[in-house]
Amino acid sequence: MKLHHMLLSILIGLMVFGGCSKDETSVDPELVVSVDKLDITKAGETKTIHVKSNVDWTIESSESWCKVTPEFGGAATNPVQVAVEANADTDERSATLTVKADNLIKEIQVVQAPDYALLLKQSVFSLTADNQELSIGFQTSGTVEIAIDGDWITKKEAKSIVDGSQTFIISANESFIAREGSIKFTLDDITEIATINQNGIDVNIPADKTGVESDAVTLAGKMIAGWNIGNSLEVTGGETGWGNPVVSKQLIDGVKAAGFNAIRIPCAWDSYITDRETYRVSDAWFVRVKEVVDYCYENEMYAILNIHWDGGWLENNPTYDKQDEINKEQYALWQQIAVYFREYDEHLLFAGTNEVHADYGTPSTENIIVQQSFNQKFVDAVRSTGGKNAYRNLVVQTYNTNIAHGVNFHEMPTDEVADRLMLEVHYYDPWDFCGQEESGFKTQWGAGYTDVSSYGQEDYLNEQFGAMKTKYADKGIPVILGEYGAMLRADLTGDALTTHIESRNNYLKIVTSAAKANGMIPFIWDNGGTGNNSFGLFDRSTGNEVHSDAIDAIIEGAGN
């Protein structure tokens, strides 16, 4: 029995000893991976990572283009090869490597660059109308050249960029018409284009009478004598296309110093349209016109800005078949002009057209109806923009700016604000003295002279101007004498030249004086040239007076 009990005790002891030995040899699993992320080139490559564990482990890839070898291992530090194929896509791609050891899991991100030589991170941008900076990010394998389509977009730093981003300055959109520009990024023969869409500002803002308190009669009384910047901003081929230099502040300073306090700015717009669907005018042209308007403002002068001949698209077509098409453009252009300049005070006036005519004969009913619809569209367009334009004084024209047609046919347009309209006519009578260049022209005008025309003398002048006074000025509608003058016959010699100059100065003085006496504000025509058959009074380059005698005659007449 003792032996039996002893063997049983030994057996139980061995069993207990064996159980304790098993617990003492078990371990907690460990897992360490040498990296958390792998960056792979677009060409593909093989990289080695290391997996350290004290137990068996496995590794698998989420993507077929990323393979791992081996896919399992035992307790030790083991190298694993990660082989990534070339990326033929233009997008970045990624895979996840998952390593498991018992209940432990580790993930490694594999990120591979796209197959690009040049790639924009974003290619379309929608922006507000405000001035702002825009940063465009891109990836490239070389040096990128940048070209901009849109004079309202500029590079913040004028240099080429390699990988990263480029910042651009987006100018404020002063128009209510949205605009689109583009920025082209080029690397060798590869091009990526970023499209920039910028919203316009509000077409209509609340009416604001500040700075535009004067009604038409009051404002007309502040204008003493006016001068035209002729053959400059109205030139469709560019400001210098008809031989004059660009208009400078020095020139406007000289005009102010001579005694003029108002300037008429004949202007082209149609030839500066960049989008025929919206009739959007070039931003650069608006900036240039603003410069000239500001020259006047800096001299505390009044400025009348118009749509002039402008290639004849409006001026030569007062017909039913053109009416709708022209009025669509007339409205679109004047909304833009009005919005751009709507913060200017009463020193700025708008004039809707110029010498609208089908021919130089008596207008038909059709001609009058269509021409006056152009005036109405102009008024409606300006008033639709609100702000100071709700009260701005506007100038409309008679048919062909002719006095007789103004008396016989003209009707003022409807306006939502009272007493803010003026009427414009021109006067070049008698034409054979004032503007005729071919043979048979006259060199003199007025009583006491001999080489004079058979019509258009002082009695005719007083009759014409008196009719405008009776029909318009006396009824509270001021009249702008937007153009008048007589060309210089500088090729004459001796006494003939002396008498011509004397007679011409007499004409300028008397016409100016008659205009003022009949409620009209005179604006002398100046086309820039100062030689034979020209109307110019100033040196356009310096602003100096060239024909001081003529200027003195005008200013004296305006004073009378």
Q: Which residues are catalytic?
A: 355, 483
The dihedrals phi and psi of 39, each to the nearest 5 degrees, come to -100, 125
CA distance 252 to 145: 42
CA distance 164 to 406: 66
Other CB atoms within 10 A of residue 284 CB: 12
Both structure tokens of 99: 């390593």
Asked if the bond preceding 430 is cis, omega within 30° of 0, the reply is: yes
Are 265 and 231 a contacting pair, CB within 8 Å? no
* 3-state SS assignment for residue 537: coil
Which helix (H) or strand (E) covers residue 160, if one does?
A: none
Both structure tokens of 371: 């021409």
Cα dist from 128 to 133, 137, 234, 294, whole Å: 11, 20, 32, 27
Q: Which residues of 454-465 are buried (b: 16+ CB within 10 A; e: fewer)?
A: eebbeeebeebb
SS (H, E, C) 539-559: CCCCCCECCHHHHHHHHHHHH
Q: What is the residue-wise DSSP string for 369-394? A: HHHHHHHHHHHHHHHTTEEGGGT--E
Cα dist from 290 to 78, 195, 305, 307, whole Å: 76, 28, 10, 15
Are 413 and 375 a contacting pair, CB within 8 Å? yes
Both structure tokens of 182: 């583009």
Which of 475, 549, 479 is closest to 508 using CA atoms? 549
Q: E-assigned strands of 224-294?
A: 226-228, 262-265, 273-275, 280-281
Alpha helices in 258-319 (DSSP H): 283-298
